Structures are given as C-alpha cells and as structure tokens.
Amino acid sequence: MPEMPEVETVRRTLIPLVKGKTIAKIIIWYPKIIVNDPDEFVKKLTNKKILKIDRYGKYLLFRFNDGLTMVSHLRMEGKYHLVTPDQPKGKHEHVEFVFTDGTALRYADVRKFGRMHLVETGTEKQTTGIRHLGPEPNTEEFSVEYFINALSRKKKNIKNTLLDQTVVCGLGNIYVDEVLWQSKIHPLSSAKSIPADKIVDLYHNINHTITVATKERGTTVHTYLDANGDIGGYQSMLQVYGHAGEECNNCGTILEKIKVNGRGTTFCPHCQVQYK
C-alpha cells in the first residue's frame, strides 16, 4: 500500500500534469470505485477545473472550483497517469477524466480497492474516512506529549497501534517496521507499557523517517510508481523490511519475520525489546 511518502510523491508529480485543467467528460468503467452515485459524480465534476491537489495522511484531495473536493484513496495498488483519450484502455484502468486540452487522467487499480468520494470542500474531516485519522507526523498536533498520552490509552500492541491510523496517520507496514527497529521496540510490545523515553525515540524516528522517505520519493518494493511512472528511492535505505533472514545491521542477529494481525512483520529478536 502506498504510505504517506508515496502518496505525497504522487501528489507532487500530479500537480504539474493536471493543475488548471478542466474536465470535459468522465468515463467510469468500474462504478464501485466511486463512493457517490456515479451519475451524480460525473454530472457534478463535468466542466470543473482542478485548482490544486492537497493530501492528508494517505488521502489525496483534488480541489475543484465551485467548492468541490474529490477525496481519493489509492489503497493497495491505485495509480494515476496522464494519457491521451485515444489510447487503448488498459486492463486495470477504471476511471478516466478527459480534459478540454486533449489529455486525460486515468486511474488504474489491479485490486480495485481504491475509492473516490466527492464532497463539499471543507467537509472532508466530517464526511470521509479522514474523520478517523490522527495527526500527521511533523505537525504541531503530533507532539511528544500527545504521542505519550495517546499510547498510554492503547491496549493493542504497538505494531497494530501505529497501523490503525488513529494515533498518527500515514504510516504503513514498511515504515512501521523501520521505525520500531530504529527505536529498538519489539512490534508485539503493549503500546501502553512502552517507557516514555522509548516513546520519545519512536516519535523522533517517525518524523525523521517520513521526512527522509518523502525526500527520496517513497519506497518501491512491489508496484508503487508516481504519476510519472517513476519508482521511489527509499527502498535502498530499508534496514529490516524485506530483509528477513539477513543479519541485523546493529548486532548481527538474524532478522525474523512473523505475522502481526495478518501483516508480515520483520524485526531483530536481540535489539528490539518487548514491553509487556
């Protein structure tokens, strides 16, 4: 799944491709991608101009004139790319936005899990999945004090806590494994039992890792590509994710992989302490 650095990279690469363009028509090949009534979705967005694209957590927010916002979640495999309307439809392409300038933005999604939800601008945090999200890393709302207090109320293990997006949003399986290894915290540690000094370490590692991964244009370990079709660069910096069976770069112990709530999780059994 694209995580916050990947979605931010998609946002940045989409802006020069579509900002200022006006939608002439919309073709929907797979209606379930649209949260709203598909016909109403098409009617409301036809002749609308893309003013800018924002992001919150893993959600893209396409801002249109007349107070409309399309909230887009890429889920596991979603991708946007610019084409010409006469280009043959790809097997996994499900929505096309044809612009008045003769170009078109297509949404492709192998698993068809992605969603587009058209709402009134300013209501995203009340009417879409964004309402369930915690603060983003590297923001004023995501403070050390907030983080310590939030974890103290969580009975779940720290891996699941960081994945559920309600304490801090934007982290997925890749970056959770990385920041827990950096902080020397076992993924099965009870979130509320982690000492305050270790939470501070985790806090700083979350902020730093998201910053660096974004600078490197995200991580490509499966199928992630930005809007230009380019891969990320952070995959060469991964220390644990994808390295099960290899030596830990801290201590030389062989990294292990387990399942945590169905998610593959790699960690160092020597470096990472389990707090119960």
State the SS3 of the chain: CCCHHHHHHHHHHHHHHHCCCEEEEEEECCHHHECCCHHHHHHHHCCCEEEEEEEECCEEEEEECCCEEEEEECCCCCEEEEECCCCCCCCCEEEEEEECCCCEEEEECCCCCCEEEEEECCCHHHHCHHHHCCCCCCCCCCCHHHHHHHHCCCCCEHHHHHHCCCCCCCCCHHHHHHHHHHCCECCCCEHHHCCHHHHHHHHHHHHHHHHHHHHCCCCCCCCCCCCCCCCCCHHHHCCCCCCCCCECCCCCCECEEEEECCEEEEECCCCCECCC
Q: What is the pLDDT of residue 166?
A: 96
* % of the chain surpassing 70 pLDDT: 100
For 221-237, what is the mean pLDDT?
89
For strand 256-260 and strand 263-267, is the pairing parallel, antiparallel, or unpaired? antiparallel
Q: Residue 221 pLDDT more than 90?
A: no
* Residue of 83 and 220 predicted with greater confidence: 83
Q: Is 208 annotated in some ligand binding site?
A: no
Q: Is 204 annotated in some ligand binding site?
A: no
In this prediction, residue 95 has a pLDDT band, given cuts at 50, 70 and 90, of very high
* Residue of 103 and 224 predicted with greater confidence: 103
Q: Which residues are the active-site residues?
A: 2-3, 58, 263
Q: Residue 185 pLDDT more than 90?
A: yes
In this prediction, residue 203 has a pLDDT band, given cuts at 50, 70 and 90, of very high
For 47-64, what is the mean pLDDT?
98
Q: Residue 222 pLDDT more than 80?
A: no
* Chain CA centroid to CA 10, Å: 10
Structural domains of the chain in order of their starting residue, each with its CATH number: 2-125 (3.20.190.10), 142-265 (1.10.8.50)
Q: Is 111 annotated in some ligand binding site?
A: yes
Q: Residue 28 pLDDT more than 70?
A: yes
For 22-35, what is the mean pLDDT?
98
* % of the chain surpassing 90 pLDDT: 96
Q: What is the pLDDT of residue 2?
A: 86
Q: Residue 1 pLDDT more than 70?
A: no
Tell me the average pLDDT of the chain.
96
Q: CA 95, CA 98: separation in Å to the nearest integer?
A: 10
Tokens of 55: 């992001």
Q: Residue 147 pLDDT more than 80?
A: yes
